[in-house]
Amino acid sequence: MLRPPVEPMPAQAAEAVPGPAAVRSGVAYEQKLDGHRALLFTASGPGGAVVVQTRRGALVQDRWPDLVVAAEAQLPPGLVLDGELVVWDIEAGRLSFEALQRRAATRARGAAVLAARWPAYFVAFDLLQHDGQELLTRPYAERRALLENLFSEHALTAPWTLVPQTTDLPQHGSGWSPGRTCPGWRGSWSSP
């Protein structure tokens, strides 16, 4: 069973999108949002707590009370999600990295006040543990299928979002340009 801190798989920058051979080998492309990388752990049993971990291993659930409450209400126990924390600016009608940074730096009562003003969303792109069973050694395609099933079985809605994915980037290419489908989108990344 995974317990924090867990080091998430790092993203690696590339100068160009992998060519057709990579696409044929099953590479999947996902949108990279302008947010903070995080792991979310649900309680593994009675009396357990929801934990939010940064990519550097800090535990920051006190800064995201809205996500903790939503996880307790909507997510099953023994789960570890890997994803991106983003904040929606209701007034501007877009993602706000500035609001995200303010939320990430605010604790206690201030965190609840900012949560009401700037709701947080967890954009999931990987499932590292399900029903208390670690999945890190399983192929990415299998973990993605389990993640998609989690979203459909539990009818997950806001603040939970499944990152868009395609295995046919040439087909979607121009529509997958940063900022085109979603303000605050920084680019794409691929997963084998």
- Single out the catalytic residue among 29, 32, 51, 185: 32
Rounded to whole angstroms, the Cα distance separating 56 from 69 reads 23
118: how many CB neighbours lie within 10 A of its CB?
A: 19
Q: CA dihedral defined by 155, 161, 167, 172, rounded to 10 degrees? A: 110
Q: Is 32 a catalytic residue?
A: yes
Distant-in-sequence, close-in-space partners of 28: CB < 8 Å, separation ≥ 6: 140, 141, 144, 165, 166, 167, 190, 191
Tokens (6 digits) for 160:
């939970």
Annotate 154-177 with b (16+ C-beta within 10 A) or e (fewer).
Answer: eebeebbbbbbbbeebeeeeeebe
Enter the tokens of residue 97.
């990295």
Checking DSSP bridges between strand 120-130 and strand 160-162, what pairing results, if any? parallel
CA-nearest of 90, 87, 109 to 159 is: 87
Mind telling me the catalytic residues? Answer: 32
